Amino acid sequence: MNAAAGKAATSWHEAVIERIEPLTPRIASVRLKAPLAQPVAGQHVDVRLTAEDGYSAQRSYSIASAPSAPHIELMIEKLDDGEVSPYFHDVAQAGDTIEVRGPLGGHFIWSPADGGPLLLIAGGSGLAPLMAMVRAWRDAGSETPLMLVYSARTWAELAFVEELQQLQVQAPEHFLFVAVTTRESPRRAGDLGRRLNAAQLQGLLSRWAQVPRHVYVCGSNAFVEAVTDGLLLADVAAAAIRTERYGGTESTLNPKIGVQT
């Protein structure tokens, strides 16, 4: 990134909320029009809200839209007792303005030129940066083998399933989408109905029949820890794994894994 782009990415800009719509009962798609540079898949923006009395709060949200999209799409999960996320579910409306800066982050990123095989593992709203990677892969017409393993409690809590299933129909030889529902039986052949562990990850890797060159894991601390521990037990190289954590339970993440905080 050159100095001017770097400065632009760390300066605050006004963004207009174009659209807010539910993706799942707890996750909203928030579409912004903002004068930001084109992101790399996996990057995030910082969002700043300021009250009339001057109090302000800022949080980071990954960019879920394709890098080439004319807008920025965020996937914001509502934490009932949270300060910022409920605003996007209960208060904000199309036409409102907020402040954003970015795109930010230089570690948890993937471009089609990086190749693969590419293994993406998401828990809940952790899908956001991985969705940007899937969309970048799709838009580039990439033939890099890609397996997306996406976990939520129930099928209804999985976002973008139609888009993901359609992609699997369009590119069955290159794209494998496995849904994991931890509180519901699997819906499709090949999906899983329990929490991911080493044995299940090993089974998925055998079925995929690829050795992943790049692995991206995103979700809560607990999810990322369970998955990375399982991947290491399943003999995935630590150097191939990158993680991004959205909070939740305290972490004792394996120090061998690449972490972005």
Ligand X SMILES: Cc1cc2nc3c(=O)[nH]c(=O)nc-3n(C[C@H](O)[C@H](O)[C@H](O)COP(=O)(O)OP(=O)(O)OC[C@H]3O[C@@H](n4cnc5c(N)ncnc54)[C@H](O)[C@@H]3O)c2cc1C
* Contacting residues toward ligand X, per CB under 6 A: 44, 59-62, 74-77, 79, 81-85, 125, 128, 244, 246-247
Residue type, 146: L
**Smallest gap, in angstroms, from Cβ of residue 35 to ligand X?**
21
Nearest CB to ligand X, comparing residues 82 and 186: 82
Residue type, 234: A
Nearest CB to ligand X, comparing residues 25 and 172: 25
**Smallest gap, in angstroms, from Cβ of residue 15 to ligand X?**
15
**CB-nearest residue to ligand X:** 82
**Smallest gap, in angstroms, from Cβ of residue 27 to ligand X?**
7
Would you state the structure tokens that stand for residue 74, as one six-digit string?
A: 């965020």
The answer to whether 243 touches 260, Cβ cutoff 8 Å, is yes
CA dihedral of 232, 246, 96, 131, whole degrees rounded to 10 = 10
Nearest CB to ligand X, comparing residues 75 and 149: 75
**Smallest gap, in angstroms, from Cβ of residue 29 to ligand X?**
11
Hey, how many other C-beta atoms are within 10 angstroms of the C-beta on 8?
17
Q: Is the dihedral of CA 114, 115, 116, 118 positive or negative?
A: positive
Nearest CB to ligand X, comparing residues 47 and 146: 47
Nearest CB to ligand X, comparing residues 28 and 205: 28
**Smallest gap, in angstroms, from Cβ of residue 22 to ligand X?**
13
Q: Give DSSP secondary structure letters for 202-229.
A: HHHHHHHT---SEEEEEE-HHHHHHHHH
Cβ neighbourhood burial of 108 (10 Å; 0-12, 13-18, 19+): buried
